[in-house]
Structure 1
Amino acid sequence: MKEQLEARMNELKAELESGRQMMQELDEKRSNLGYAMTRISGAIQVLEELSAGEEESVQD
């Protein structure tokens, strides 16, 4: 019985560690995605401003 308990405990510890690693990987991916979205948003804003500037110069 004690061996079964220890075996189960070791399985659960391994699952917990695996879950922690997955959580860390997901946190890193979320951070990278947030950074990428910020860069894309900034690029869109620059292009919109450039486009608006060209429209103004064409109208003049």
Structure 2
Amino acid sequence: MRAEIEKRVSELETEYREGQRMLADLETKQADLQQTLLRISGALQVLNELLAAESDPETGGADPTPQATASQEVPA
């Protein structure tokens, strides 16, 4: 009986370590994805501002309504 318990403990410890590794990998992927979304958001904002500047020559492209910054759009 003791050998069976020790074997199960060993199996669970292995599963636990693997779960921790997987969680760390997912957290890294999440951080990478957040950075990617932040960059995309910034690029979208710049391109939309360029489009607005082309379509509204009277104001010189100034947008009277402030837009959210990229850091506000992507939660940390």
State TM-score, norm by structure 2. 0.73
Instruction: Give the aligned partner of residue 24 of structure 2.
Output: 24
Task: Supply the distance in 2 between the matched residues of 1:26 and 1:11 (Cα, whole angstroms).
Answer: 23
Residue matched to 2:9: 9
Shift in Å, 1:56: 1.7
Identity fraction in percent: 40
Structure 2 unmatched ranges of 5 or more: 58-76
Aligned length: 58
Poorly superposed stretches of 4+, deviation over 2 Å: none
Q: TM-score, normalised by structure 1?
A: 0.92
Structure 1: give runs of 5+ residues left out of the alignment.
none
RMSD of aligned Cα (Å): 1.2
Higher relative contact order (CA 8 A, sep 6+): 2
